[in-house]
């Protein structure tokens, strides 16, 4: 065949030979293109195993232990990678009509990363430790009044004193700890246990080892896929975590390709990323607000003052200036991303310094020579001047300065006090020692806001930062927890939002997106919303770096 074509080609004139070659080239290119189109039409890119991934985290792990997980993001991240939640381990969980009696059945043949079996005793042990005040677990409050009973090696019964509408979330999110490791260790010593840095877990990854500098700084954790993981096995087989003392060093490592991903970025950090990358920005079920404490300020007891502060706050300007648009406006105690949020409650919201000034004029607040309003209350001259406590963060500091400028227009003076978060939690929030505080509330992807707005939570360890006290709201929040019907529950939440909105106990600002920079090859990252930064790892077993095209069935 080739000989005949060659002979035919030689019989052509030079002009005919060129024409023949052109036609042949067009035919070959068209054939190749058609084959390529058909290939892509009949195949789909699917994740496949392979690759190594290195995450950069700012801070240091202290205790990689789900029994005592606190506010340390490094601990939360490693716990999410190395410990499975009950939703991963359970084959099923069933409840009676009132959802007070639950039966949890574990999957068969579950194992810890050391090969020991996982059974119902581990779940019962975990719940018992969470309920122990000596363990100081942040989950303590949500597991009170819960009794457990072993039914078999794989089954247990969980009984609640009262219906709790969000208890399914508690079950699904609980990360189980190994009884054979921690049984016999006093809860107050968990942080000292070697297993809190070299954990035996059940998550998608297990710890291979870690590197520590002579000064004690942990530089890196090396993880590998856990062959005993109950869920789908991870596509990425090797996962490393590198730790940095600050964001500047972490971003430098990202730019030099020393790490593949870094989360918890602020919008203005993105301009410092110099290499090709992908930015992921899922919404968060967290909002920031200026919480107003009427117990430390006579002025803040007045509703007109609280309303004027809200009227004088330009949310859009703050979001665009401090967060470069990477946030949703926050209007009340429930973020927009959570079921139960009612936007109709906030239809009358507006930015109007003019109305704010008129409101303060009518309430008798007069400008003094310094341009600050003041009024005689209980025979004391009270100025509209407040100390505003602000956690150490660039976007929060910028927000505070924006508020300072905005509120100056209505005769209110703000003195921002920038403090480290650890100092705020212990020395400011615990004793409620502030007039105003710019702070964030994180909801666990449901609308249980009892801890933030019920009057019983006004003082430590409660989180009612505005010391809000309303009997109708208390009753509604108690009913919300016991109402299983979602529309009925949302109706109660609408009333709560309306009452809070009408009383102006806080100046609600925004819900920032979670910003995560990663290599362009990463796929499978959750779209959100997420509550804590560690929730980015909820489906880390589905992250992938490589794909292969598979023919469609």
Given a contact cutoff of 8 angstroms between Cβ atoms, the answer to whether 355 and 311 are in contact is yes
Pairing state of beta strands 373-377 and 218-225?
Answer: unpaired
Dihedral over alpha carbons 345, 347, 353, 359 (to 10 degrees): -50
In a domain, 104, yes or no: yes
Burial grade of 491 (CB within 10 A; 0-12, 13-18, 19 or more) = middle
Q: Other CB atoms closer than 10 Å to residue 157's CB: what's the count?
A: 15
CATH code for the domain of 404: 3.10.105.10
Please, what is the Cα angle at 218 between 216 and 224, to 5 degrees?
145
In a domain, 548, yes or no: no
Query: Both 293 and 179 in a single domain?
Result: no
Chain centroid, CA 365 distance in Å: 41
Report the helix count and the strand count for the chain, using DSSP H and E.
16, 22
Burial grade of 450 (CB within 10 A; 0-12, 13-18, 19 or more) = buried
Helix (H/G/I), strand (E/B), else coil: 80: helix
CATH code for the domain of 98: 3.90.76.10
- Listing DSSP states for 259-270 in one string gives -SEEEEE-GGGG
Number of domains in the chain: 2
In a domain, 268, yes or no: no
- Listing DSSP states for 205-241 in one string gives EEEEEEEE-TTS-EEEEEEEE-TT-SSSPPS--EEEE
Domain termination residue (choose one: 183, 201, 235) = 183
In a domain, 199, yes or no: no
Query: Both 349 and 492 in a single domain?
Result: yes
H/E stretch holding 416 reads strand 413-419
Where are the extended beta strands (E) located within 486-531? Answer: 506-512, 515-518
- Residue 127 gets which letter from DSSP? H
pLDDT at 218: 97
Encode the chain (553 residues) as per-residue pLDDT tens digits. Answer: 555 656 655 676 677 666 656 666 666 666 666 555 554 556 667 889 999 999 999 999 999 999 987 778 999 999 999 999 999 999 999 999 999 999 999 999 999 999 999 999 999 999 999 999 988 888 888 899 999 999 999 999 999 999 999 999 999 999 999 999 999 899 989 888 999 999 999 999 999 999 999 999 999 999 999 999 999 999 999 999 999 999 999 999 999 999 999 999 999 999 999 999 999 999 999 999 999 999 999 999 999 999 999 999 999 999 999 999 999 999 999 999 999 999 999 999 999 999 999 999 999 999 999 999 999 998 899 999 999 999 999 999 999 999 999 999 999 999 999 999 989 999 999 999 999 999 999 998 899 999 999 999 999 989 999 999 999 999 999 999 999 999 999 999 999 999 999 999 999 999 999 999 999 999 999 887 899 999 999 999 999 999 886 767 7
pLDDT at 23: 64
In a domain, 476, yes or no: yes
HEC per residue, 449-465: CHHHHCHHHCCCCCCCC
Residue from 307, 263, 254, 251 nearest 512 by CA: 263
pLDDT at 12: 63
pLDDT at 533: 94
Peptide bond into 131 cis (omega under 30): no
Given a contact cutoff of 8 angstroms between Cβ atoms, the answer to whether 343 and 349 are in contact is no
Kindly state the tokens that stand for 385. Answer: 């001047």
Domain termination residue (choose one: 183, 216, 246) = 183
Q: How far apart are CA 310 and CA 289, in angstroms?
A: 11
Query: Both 167 and 294 in a single domain?
Result: no
Q: Which domain holds residue 130?
A: 84-183
In a domain, 176, yes or no: yes
Helix (H/G/I), strand (E/B), else coil: 444: coil
Helices (H), 345-385: 353-362
Q: How far apart are CA 352 and CA 310, in angstroms?
A: 9
pLDDT at 517: 98
Domain termination residue (choose one: 183, 211, 239) = 183
In a domain, 291, yes or no: yes
The residues with which 220 forms a beta bridge, in sequence order, are: 211, 242
Given a contact cutoff of 8 angstroms between Cβ atoms, the answer to whether 482 and 269 are in contact is no
The residues with which 56 forms a beta bridge, in sequence order, are: 242, 262
324: left (phi over 0), alpha (psi -120 to 50) or beta: left
Query: Both 291 and 175 in a single domain?
Result: no
Given a contact cutoff of 8 angstroms between Cβ atoms, the answer to whether 47 and 237 are in contact is no
In a domain, 233, yes or no: no
- Residue 16 gets which letter from DSSP? H
């Amino acid at each position: 065949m080739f000989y005949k074509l060659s002979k035919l080609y030689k019989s052509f004139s030079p002009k005919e030979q060129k024409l023949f070659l052109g036609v042949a080239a067009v035919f070959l290119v068209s054939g190749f293109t058609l084959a390529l189109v058909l290939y892509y039409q009949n195949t789909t890119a699917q994740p496949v195993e392979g690759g190594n991934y290195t995450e950069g985290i700012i801070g240091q792990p202290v205790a990689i232990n789900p029994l005592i997980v606190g506010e340390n993001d490094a601990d939360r991240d490693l716990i999410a990678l190395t410990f499975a939640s009950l939703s991963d381990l359970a084959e099923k969980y069933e409840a009676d009509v009132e959802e007070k009696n639950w039966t949890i059945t574990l999957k068969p043949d579950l194992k810890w990363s050391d090969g020991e079996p996982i059974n119902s005793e581990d779940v019962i042990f975990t719940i018992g430790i969470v309920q122990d005040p000596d363990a100081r677990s942040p989950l303590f409050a949500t597991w009170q009044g819960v009794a457990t009973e072993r039914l078999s090696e794989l089954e247990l019964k969980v009984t609640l004193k009262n219906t709790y509408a969000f208890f399914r979330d508690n079950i699904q999110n609980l990360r189980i700890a190994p009884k054979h490791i921690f049984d016999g260790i006093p809860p107050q010593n968990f942080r000292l246990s070697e297993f809190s840095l070299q954990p035996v877990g059940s998550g998608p990854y297990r710890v291979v080892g870690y590197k520590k500098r002579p000064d004690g700084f942990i530089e890196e954790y090396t993880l590998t896929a856990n062959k005993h993981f109950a869920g789908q096995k991870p596509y990425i087989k090797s996962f490393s975590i590198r730790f940095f003392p600050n964001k500047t060093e972490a971003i430098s490592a990202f730019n030099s390709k020393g790490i593949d991903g870094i989360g918890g970025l602020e919008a203005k950090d993105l301009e410092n990323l110099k290499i090709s990358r992908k930015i992921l920005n899922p919404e968060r079920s967290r909002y920031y607000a200026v919480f107003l404490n009427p117990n430390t300020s006579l002025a803040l007891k007045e509703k007109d003052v609280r309303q004027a502060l809200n009227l004088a706050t330009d949310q859009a300007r703050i979001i665009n200036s401090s967060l470069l648009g990477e946030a949703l406006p926050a209007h009340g105690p429930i973020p927009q991303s959570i079921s139960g949020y009612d936007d109709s409650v906030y239809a009358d919201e507006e930015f109007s310094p003019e109305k704010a000034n008129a409101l303060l004029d009518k309430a008798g607040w007069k400008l003094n020579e310094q341009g600050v309003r003041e009024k005689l209350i209980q025979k004391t001259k009270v100025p509209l001047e407040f100390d505003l406590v602000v956690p150490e963060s660039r976007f929060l500091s910028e927000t505070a300065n924006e508020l300072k400028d905005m509120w100056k227009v209505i005769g209110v003076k703000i003195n921002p006090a920038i403090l480290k978060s650890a100092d705020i939690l212990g020395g400011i929030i615990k004793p409620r020692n502030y007039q105003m505080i710019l702070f964030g509330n994180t909801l666990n992807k449901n609308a249980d806001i009892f801890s933030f707005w019920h009057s019983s939570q006004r003082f430590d360890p409660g989180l009612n930062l505005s010391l809000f006290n309303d009997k109708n709201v208390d009753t509604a929040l108690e009913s919300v927890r016991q109402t299983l019907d979602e529309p009925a529950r949302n109706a109660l939440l609408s009333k709560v939002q309306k009452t809070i909105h009408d009383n102006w106990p806080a100046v609600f600002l925004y819900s920032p997106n979670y910003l995560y920079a990663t290599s362009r090859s990463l796929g499978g990252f959750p779209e959100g919303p997420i509550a804590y930064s560690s929730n980015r790892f909820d489906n880390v077993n589905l992250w992938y770096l490589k794909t292969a095209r598979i023919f469609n069935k």
